[in-house]
Structure 1
Amino acid sequence: MTEPTRILHVVGAMNRAGTETMLMNLYRKIDRKHIQFDFISFSQQDAHYDSEIKKMGGRVIKLENPQSVKELYHAIKTFGPYQAVHSHTLFHCGMASCAAWLAGVKIRISHAHTTADKSDSFLRKLYQFSMSVMIKRFSTNLLACSKEAATFLFGSNYKSNKHYAYFPNVIDYTDFISQPRQKVMEFKMREGLGNSLVIGHIGRFIGAKNHEFLIEIMKSLVEKEPSIKLLLVGDGDLKHKILEKVQQEGMGDRVHFMGIREDIATILHCMEVFVFPSKYEGLGLVLLEAQACGIPCIVSEAIQPEADIGLGLITQVNLDEGASTWADEILNNAGNKEQDSTFIADHFEKHQYSPSKGIEKLMSLYHLNNGGTYEESINRFV
């Protein structure tokens, strides 16, 4: 039996976050008898999606030192051959592309997913500059989920690069459009939500997601709508700090910490409003999931315009307008869910956010679509 063609994704760790979830949406839909994904992990701990990857025939390759081009090169040579190395690790993409070039991989993709970095120190800026040079030198393809993400990683003249293409984030929106009413009601009963006005947020507990401000919004909401409840889905380094803040504010019975969940669609359908006060975002995959559920979304100015698929569900509020203004917008939008599933589906297809569209693009970029040439592949999607 012929071995499947393998693609290596460099991701850091396959935990449940936007980029990783998008990759799983694609991986579940590809023809895995003929094409397989492997994943580089920077963590020695098991990540959320690792077991599912292995069950589907993929491999999770854990590196001791991901900053080592030598170790990346060794992994590519050991577990390959690879048709393509597709990196999603911000400026580290330069290192991954260099290692892939040294290993003789012909297709080397650097993929931008965010609009900011964790530090602006001199050493970090020096690292960014050197990695930018390597990205341009060793990548054969440049992809981004938004214009701002492309500008941040590839520079303001990214459009002039003939190897650049816009790649919309992909979700299996049909899984979110509708949920059995009984299932949603059972969840509400189990979580003690009753007839409360339920709002929510899904995201890692990291500084960029701005959970502290979200708790300030909740304080203001409680004054305006005493029955309010907040669902927080996710995990992360700052979770304990936010939990302490909630307890200090006396809102322990109003804020539900849900952890990492598989039943995201059910949880979203319990919400009246989705709140997303990020300090920066590449796109925000969860915003697509929320819109697929028809839920109004109150978002910060950091959210990229590509995240709004035209359903009239996105309301943007600047962070400096304060918690009270955010609370007012949340209450103004409560009860405005979009109920027309056909209308929602049409907009997702129009904006090419479906897995079928994403797979078609990737297969062409990987040269697995009718044997097309590199130029034919890239020009098709610029």
Structure 2
Amino acid sequence: MKILHIMTTPIGLTGISTYIYNIMDYLDTQKNKIDYVFMNQPLNEIQILLKQNNSNYHIIQNRNRKPFSYAFKLNEVLKKERYDIVHVHGNSHTIAIELMVAKKNRIPVRIAHAHSTSTKYFLLHKLLTLPFNYCTTHRIASSQAAGNWLFSKAPFNVVPIGIKVESFKFQLDWRQVHRKKLDIEENEILIGHVGEFNKNKNQTFLIHLMSKLDENFKLILIGEGNLKDEYQQLVAQLKIEDRVIFYGKSREANQIYSAMDMFIFPSYNEGLGLVIIEAQSSDLTCFASLGVPEEANITDQVEKFSLDENLEMLVDRIQKISVNLPDKRKKNINNNKVEKSNYNAKKSIEALEKKYKIFLEESNY
């Protein structure tokens, strides 16, 4: 098979990016030719992996600002390379752009892949519904909620986004190293969050929550984003600067989970919420909003809460719950559950490859 993956969001440290990295690691490159279209330059280590896989990649920028120019450049790629499958990863019906270009070039399998349950471009999302449906041949979603959002009543296949479970396993030495670096005492409870600083991820909720929790609770926010300055100002206003750590982006997030004691994920909406699965893999005590799909609760150990819930009630729940202490986390009970689930990266990509074969058969190609 000759397959082109198209990312409609920047490649970096995101859930969609994780799925693309899993494809690079686990999709059989001996039997398949796999190429990519990115909006931005991937990291050097990713470029090396692409070269090892004999994968071509194309950087096509300005998708949002200059869509006609973007479509023209994408058309040039598809004219030159005759793909069996074009697989478009995105969050809204704006991926009709890529699907229309693929249909024009008579690509037999044109996959729309739903990764989220919301979009910043709702009007365009609505306007492009008809061409989106007309040009899509097959539909994949990271969760039932993501599929319902993007495909409405059309049938779709749920293919979970997996993680490299072993890399998130609790390690006592990681805990000691990173807690020392962060100046966290062993009797202090470190709450963690990983995500871009934006309205949907709802870090303001965590900051207000911190102002209500006892002094022995601290918060680490791993990520960057346009709202970082606003959040730092809020922390200063609430006078909790000594209890909130703005860590920035990190390639060591898998290690920092071991330093945490609790993970709280208060998003308004999530297509899946990969980081809550990572947190479970580190055997963390976890809380997630109702906006996080139930599929993400792989271990049945995630406490759910409503964002409309009285904050004092949630504070009481958090302060009463027993966190998983290192001695318990070393048993890797939840890590083993994730390892055996469909959210194991290797199993996830094997399932995707099976779908490709079925889709090609259905297209009579």
Query: What's the secondary structure of 2:241's corresponding residue?
Result: coil
Counterpart check, 1:186 vs 2:177: yes
Moved more, 260-269 or 281-290: 260-269
Q: Which residue of 2 aligns with 1:232?
A: 221
Alpha-carbon distance in 1 for matches of 2:292, 2:228: 22
Q: Which residue of 1 aligns with 2:116?
A: 114
Q: Normalising to structure 1: TM-score of the pair?
A: 0.84
Residue among 305, 318, 328 paired with 1:330 = 318
Q: Which residue of 2 aligns with 1:50?
A: 43
Q: Normalising to structure 2: TM-score of the pair?
A: 0.88
Residue among 238, 254, 271 paired with 1:265 = 254
Q: Which residue of 2 aligns with 1:380?
A: none
Query: What's the secondary structure of 1:256's corresponding residue?
Result: strand
1:32-73 alpha-carbon deviations (Å, 9 max, x no partner): 455454333335xx4xx4323211124442224422333322
Contact 1:83 1:366 in 2 (8 A): no
Q: Which residue of 2 aligns with 1:202?
A: 194
Say if 1:6 and 1:142 are closer, same or farther in 2 by CA, change over 3 A: closer
Contact 2:170 2:332 in 1 (8 A): no
Residue among 150, 155, 170 paired with 1:153 = 150
1:82-103 alpha-carbon deviations (Å, 9 max, x no partner): 3321111222221111111112
Q: Which residue of 1 aligns with 2:334?
A: 344
The Cα RMSD (Å) is 2.5
Deviation at 1:289, TM superposition (A): 0.3
Q: Which residue of 2 aligns with 1:365?
A: 355
Deviation at 1:343, TM superposition (A): 4.1
Q: Which residue of 2 aligns with 1:83?
A: 84
Q: Which residue of 2 aligns with 1:129?
A: 126
Query: What's the secondary structure of 1:344's corresponding residue?
Result: helix
Contact 1:5 1:34 in 2 (8 A): no
1:281-311 alpha-carbon deviations (Å, 9 max, x no partner): 11100011001111121111111111111x2
Alpha-carbon distance in 2 for matches of 1:192, 1:342: 25
Contact 1:200 1:232 in 2 (8 A): yes
Q: Which residue of 2 aligns with 1:245?
A: 234
Contact 2:109 2:360 in 1 (8 A): no
Number of positions where the alignment pairs a residue of Structure 1 with one of Structure 2? 352
Say if 1:36 and 1:50 are closer, same or farther in 2 by CA, change over 3 A: farther
Contact 1:8 1:82 in 2 (8 A): no
Say if 1:300 and 1:62 are closer, same or farther in 2 by CA, change over 3 A: same
1:207-233 alpha-carbon deviations (Å, 9 max, x no partner): 100111111001001xxx212111100
Give 1:354's aligned amino acid: N
Alpha-carbon distance in 1 for matches of 2:46, 2:296: 27
Alpha-carbon distance in 1 for matches of 2:94, 2:76: 17
1:312-331 alpha-carbon deviations (Å, 9 max, x no partner): 32111111113322222222
Say if 1:250 and 1:376 are closer, same or farther in 2 by CA, change over 3 A: farther
Q: Which residue of 2 aligns with 1:142?
A: 139
Give 1:101's aligned amino acid: K
Query: What's the secondary structure of 2:308's corresponding residue?
Result: helix
Query: What's the secondary structure of 2:220's corresponding residue?
Result: strand
Counterpart check, 1:280 vs 2:247: no
Say if 1:59 and 1:248 are closer, same or farther in 2 by CA, change over 3 A: farther
Deviation at 1:344, TM superposition (A): 2.9
Alpha-carbon distance in 1 for matches of 2:183, 2:79: 53
Say if 1:149 and 1:6 are closer, same or farther in 2 by CA, change over 3 A: closer
Contact 1:11 1:39 in 2 (8 A): no
Alpha-carbon distance in 2 for matches of 1:185, 1:114: 35
Give 2:100's aligned amino acid: C
Alpha-carbon distance in 1 for matches of 2:363, 2:314: 47
